[in-house]
Amino acid sequence: MTLHIGIDIDDTLYSFIDILRPYLNEFTWQNIQFNEITSFRLSDTWNLQIEDVKEIVRKNDLYNIWSISQDIIKKIKWFEEKWHKVSFVTSIFLYNNYNTEIYTKNFLLQHGLHYPLIFSDNKWITCKELDINLFIDDWLHNLKSIILHSPTTKCFSIEKPWNWDREINRIWLSEVELSKITKISSLLEID
């Protein structure tokens, strides 16, 4: 069966926050470890403005430091070899300044990933509109709205510390919701 596979980019294809982490620590004079990241929102964990984060990314040229492993690239090409359709769906985190759309497109092309790229803040709407059968994301909040509003989309979550936060920003999911999401440690586990 041919599937339409939707894949998030940051922290699904590569380690976005963990590479950014030392730069955020340096900027804020903190020493937050990966497992201490209690929220996907960097501004909550580091108490930063989004503009500061953009500036850190730009100043340190992080788009040239982040990279996608060959295994992950091979896996995505394998989806295509199996006749599945692949689309990348990302939120617009850095969209307004610094030509994030162009950077992201180039970032994927540099890794040989020529698939459609959709910027979306409401991934469940994208899943519904594009008839995405399978979606992979690191953030349970996104997957929760997909299972609620696009029930035909099968969801996979990449395990990350920010999904299991016990603090105020924790995203609560019921057992029923969690049972609809397959937890994986990497995209390589999908077959």
Task: Tell me which residues touch Mg ion (CB under 5 A).
Answer: 8, 10-11, 138
Please name which of 23, 123, 15 lies closest in space to residue 69, comparing C-alpha atoms: 15
Distance between CA atoms of 53 and 25, rounded to whole angstroms? 11
For residue 133, the 8-state DSSP code is S
Q: Is the dihedral of CA 162, 128, 185, 75 positive or negative?
A: negative
User: Least distance to Mg ion from the beta carbon of 11, Å?
Assistant: 4
> Of 31 and 121, which has the nearer Cβ to Mg ion?
121
> Of 8 and 56, which has the nearer Cβ to Mg ion?
8
Where are the alpha helices (H) located in the chain, listed in sequence order?
16-28, 42-46, 50-59, 70-81, 100-110, 123-129, 140-149, 175-179
> Of 82 and 186, which has the nearer Cβ to Mg ion?
186
> Of 133 and 157, which has the nearer Cβ to Mg ion?
157
User: Least distance to Mg ion from the beta carbon of 130, Å?
Assistant: 18
User: Least distance to Mg ion from the beta carbon of 114, Å?
Assistant: 20
User: Least distance to Mg ion from the beta carbon of 91, Å?
Assistant: 8
> Of 10 and 165, which has the nearer Cβ to Mg ion?
10
